[in-house]
Amino acid sequence: MNMRVWGLLICAALCIGATPHHSRHAAPQPLTAAAIEQAQFGQGQKANTALFVKAEVLLDRAGFSPGVIDGRDGDNYRKALTAFQRQSGLKPTGKLDGDTFKALAATSEDPIMADYAITEADVKGPFTKNIPASFEAKAKLPALDYPGPRDELAERFHMSEALLATLNPGTDFARSGTRIVVTDVPQKPRHTRVAKVVIDKSARTLSAFAVDGPAVVNCVVAADELPNMPHLDLELAGHYAVAKIKEAVIAATGR
């Protein structure tokens, strides 16, 4: 058998041996509403985008704001997850695990995603197409409107524009009557009476507590929005509103 034949046989063997290796690397599945609904946490499994979206929606519903819902393991998401774990008696790691996902899933049985028909009010504006980046320039605008319908819809459903676009590929968000997929998050403000607001500057979090009860609101706030105090308890009268603060007490927390 000449060298040319031997070479062909070796190349064929290499190609055959390589085929199963490439078949193991399946293309990533597209992010869909169905994938988010069906997302579950398995032992040894790494959280994926669909699972992150599901966890963020459940945190939002439970009163632990993860910030914008984007399907990412971001800073606001981890802080919200840590607060939820702490209130649920779980180890506050800020990482999604089996026990945390089980506790989150137990807070709501409603579907994670919803179908929404864009209305005339959604698309009529007014909109400001070009919004400057600086706050000084924004302050000079006659009104701080949304750049367009997609931005408005994304904020209404607490979603990032990228996630909204990914779940609705090729959609014209400026056309009324168009049906889109959105996250099913609370659309009305809560009217729970609270007795105390705790602002933790080191963690950059704000939590509102009911009378003799757990936190009913948890969110992350920007560092420049916090008082110049390491830890502050605000005693409120009636509904959660800064205007109704009765007393401010500095708590010795050691942080």
Sketch the domain layout of the chain as residue ranges: 29-185, 196-250
Question: Which of 141-145, 208-212, 229-233: highest mean pLDDT?
Answer: 141-145
Assign 235 a pLDDT band (cuts: 50, 70, 90): very low
Between CA 85 and CA 201, with CA 73 as vertex, the angle to 5 degrees is 60
pLDDT at 35 over 60: yes
Name the pLDDT band for 123 (thresholds 50, 70, 90).
very high
| Mean pLDDT calculated for residue range 47-67 | 91
110 or 29, which is more confident? Answer: 110
Question: What pLDDT is stored for residue 136 in this prediction?
Answer: 83
pTM over 0.75: no
pLDDT at 116 over 90: yes
Instruction: Provide the percentage of residues in the chain whose pLDDT is more than 70.
Output: 60
3-class secondary structure for 158-211? CECHHHHHHHCCCCCCCCCCCEEEEECCCCCCCCCECCEEEEECCCCEEEEECC
Predicted local distance difference test score (pLDDT) of residue 151: 93
